[in-house]
Chain A
Amino acid sequence: MSAAKKYRPMDTTELNDTENIAACLKKGDSSNPITTTTTTTATTTNRSAFAAQNMNSAASTNGERLPNFSMLGPHHGNDIRAASTTSNLLNRMGAIHNTKPGDVKKIVIKNFKAKPTLPDNYSEDTYVKLEEAVLAIQLSKPIKYSLEELYQAVVNMCSHKMDAQLYAKLKELTEQHVKRNIKLKELTGGSMDKLVLLEKINNWWLSFCQQMIMIRSIFLYMDRTYVLQNSLIHSIWDMGLDLFRIHFAQNSVVQKRTVDGLLTLIEKERQGATVDRGLLKSLVRMLCDLQIYSSAFEEKFLDATNQLYKAESQRKMQELEVPEYLQHVSKRLAEENERLLHYLDSSTKHPLIYNVEKELLAEHLTTILQKGLDSLLEDNRLNDLTLLYGLLSRVKNGTSELCGNFNGYIKKKGRTIVIDPEKDKSMVQDLLDFKDKMDVIVRNCFEHNEKFTNSLREAFEFFINQRANKPAELIAKYVDMKLRSGNKGTTDEELEKTLDKIMVLFRFIHGKDVFEAFYKKDLAKRLLVGKSASVDSEKSMLSKLKQECGGGFTSKLEGMFKDMELSRDVNLAFRGHALSNDRDVTNLDLTVSILTMGYWPTYTPTEVTMPPQFINPQQIFNKFYLEKHSGRKLQWQPTLGNCVLRASFDAGPKELLVSLFQGLVLLLFNDKPMLSYEEILAATSIEDGELRRTLQSLACGRARVITKTPKGRDIEDKDQFDFNNEFINKLFRIKINQIQMKETNEEQKATEERVFQDRQYQIDAAIVRIMKMRKTLSHNLLITELFNQLTFPVKPADLKKRIESLIDRDYMERDKDNQNQYNYVA
């Protein structure tokens, strides 16, 4: 051990060299005594071995433990280096020994005097020996000789330039062996069961491989020297495979039977039976190793796959519902992938999967979509839709076909929501729900694919405009319903979310002016009656609309809010003014909403006769206001006002919240407790229909503060009304609702009418704008430009009418030469 320690300072390369040498030495030592005596020729290899042997005694005296290399040693190639370093080492060892007196040894190396020769019949004997050994291996019999001995024999043969003959001999032996085996199979193969045949071939192949490994081990030396030096010659292993291939591939019967057997096995597995995957894997590996995988097997395999799945898909498409079919396809694909993983060559992956997808999916794309998509979407089957998308995205045009059908479904379904006047009540809610549902599907099932998002948008835009104006109107009404107070149970955040969703629908609407008109009308009502649920929500809706359509769209709506704020200030100032001037208005609480004409919807002005308790404060206010704002005039709107009346009934005093008209009628009863319809009409001069509705609300509604004789729902000319002193209600403040059922239809018509009127002006303006810029333009080009500029849907016939009208009004003229050409008239 002390010596080993002293070696430490030596650098590692030298230490490795020592080991190398030791390895050579060890081998030489144990393999055969002949080596030392017969092979110490001048070849480099042997020199190193010799040198190492000489060193043996020295090394062992040092007590050095030498690594025991049982491997056959990668020593050639290192030879020269090993030899040169040996002398170095020896010198150094000598030096070490020198430090120990009494151990001195002097080593002298001399050349052999005569070149060693082989015994005369050595090569013949060795041939026989090796042949026997090879045959024994091939027939799986015990070998007579030790492997060491055989290896050494090969080394010697090679060293004595007999490697070429040896190689030829080995090749011949292998070829014979292969031929023998194939014949055997052929003879017995006729009636043999496929599985048995496959197993036989497999066994034969495996043992052939083992034999070749064994043989290669014995002939390793030849493999490393002779074969390496001659690039044209295959290594022993390749030679074996080559021969096997030639005879196997040439023998079409065997090959065919093998491949058929494999295909049968795979088909069995596909039908659900368990098969020996190890066997399949081994045989497929054999085909790969023999490099006939793609030529002999793959093509047939793919053919068989195609046929199987073609038939299967046709059958299953008939038998199964689409979702089940999709499950089946997905299962099949998983199986095929597993098959690839377990025994098929990875090069088959692409064509195999492609073929399966083609047969199972691509071929049936339209059928699957037509048969199944609608019901999947209808029933909201998210998992199946995800699967469908996943599968279709694998085949060519899969997603675009899916997208097209998806689009078609939305259009069809959406149309049924929009088109039916019976469903108007629930249309907006249905649309919102439908949009939500489709959004979820696109997001969760279709991976948020942009193509689908766009298609969804396009489809909505398409169907929502299938019915002109009505959706816009209903959306406006829906917003009104949401923003009106009394819509309890929703928090501000929920409301905000709903409004956002509404905006999405609004974006699809082409005739946004219809929406604006209805929205404005409803907003006016909310503001004037103080029915708005939350100012914040109103403002937020307004800012959304502004963002969507620009400031021009909302400036008037904003003006309405401003008017309400300004009115508050005016009223404060008026109260102060009234107090300071000590006028007799303090007993009446008058609040006036001053609206800017033009911002608000137009209300038809009506004249009614009002008693002095209204007229006086009104005049005072008028004076006050016009002093403050010169150049203005005020138009009072009796239809919009409301008032609070104190009423004294037998059961006690009550406060009644009534409209101005209702108030006017009730106040008449102060002078005369019983009035006929005609009297009331004469006293108030309220418009006939309006008065009838007003009386109806007072005498036939929920709170009947007057009674009608004779009883009945409708108000007749001869009816009598009197004060209902017995009126009882548990509440102190009672709101008497107006009846306006009949009005809504008229109102609606009026609003629409107004929108169409506005549109005509817009068309006129656009025509003039374009003609002013272009000076002359053909009819068709003008129409095209108009369609680009106008933000609402129009029919070409309407445009034509407007053009005619403008020609009549001398804004433009027809060209004298060309009837289809217009000239701008400045």
Chain B
Amino acid sequence: MADDGENSVDNRATDDSKPEKMFTLKKWNAVAMWSWDVECDICAICRVQVMDSCLRCQAENKRDVLGRQDCVVVWGECNHSFHHCCMSLWVKQNNRCPLCQQEWSIQRMGK
């Protein structure tokens, strides 16, 4: 207890003499998770999470040069999202969004 008291006195003393901050941040190793910015995280065509590759790609175990699985997400103008692989097969049959039946046109693609 006596120790503590002394400490606190000391602290104040140094505080006064040193305007310099007691702690400065030098380096930060942060961790972040990325995922597709989608409203529904399941591809309506193959029923697999969009974060995973579509079924077809999982079976073939396709990889791009970087080793990432080459199965990106595609967004339509209607804001619905699917695996690009699944959608490119779908539009061959029917050029409409499987969810809202609007004409399909690509708004953006994940990369």
Chain A contact residues, CB within 8 Å of chain B: 528, 551-552, 555, 558-559, 562, 565-566, 588-598, 600, 603, 613-614, 617-618, 621, 625, 629-637, 640-648, 650, 655-656, 660, 663, 666-667, 669-670, 673-674, 707, 709-711, 722-726
Contacts and interface: CB of A to CB of B under 8 A. Distances in A.
Contacts of A635: 32-35
Nearest to B4: A709
B52 interface: yes
Interface string B3-18: 0100110111011001
Given A592-B29, A593-B32, A643-B28, 18 more contacts: A588-B28, A592-B31, A600-B33, A625-B34, A631-B110, A631-B111, A634-B32, A636-B31, A636-B32, A641-B30, A643-B25, A644-B27, A645-B24, A650-B14, A663-B28, A673-B11, A673-B12, A725-B7
Contacts of A663: 25, 28
Given A673-B15, A707-B7, A726-B10, A631 B28 contact: no
Contacts of B29: 591-593, 641-643
Interface in B65-90: 66-69, 72-73, 75
A660 B10 CA distance: 27
Contacts of B68: 562, 566
Contacts of A646: 23-24, 26
The 3 lowest CB-CB distance pairs between A and B, nearest first, are: A631-B110, A640-B31, A597-B35
- Is chain A's interface secondary structure helix, strand, loop, or mixed overall? mixed
Contacts of B4: 707, 709, 711
A594 B32 contact: yes
A597 B51 contact: yes
A710 B2 CA distance: 11
B67 to A, nearest CB: 5
A258 to B, nearest CB: 86
Interface of B: 1, 4, 7-8, 10-12, 14-15, 18, 20-38, 49, 51-52, 58, 61, 66-69, 72-73, 75, 108-111
Nearest to A590: B28
A710 B4 CA distance: 9
A595 B33 contact: yes
Given A669-B22, A670-B21, A670-B23, A595 B31 contact: yes
B31 A593 contact: yes
Contacts of A603: 33
A710 to B, nearest CB: 7
A603 B33 CA distance: 10
A243 B32 CA distance: 110
Contact of B11 (A559, A588, A614, A725): A725
Contacts of B52: 598
A528 B30 CA distance: 9
Contacts of B32: 592-595, 634-637
A596 B32 CA distance: 9
A630 B30 contact: no
A180 B29 CA distance: 118
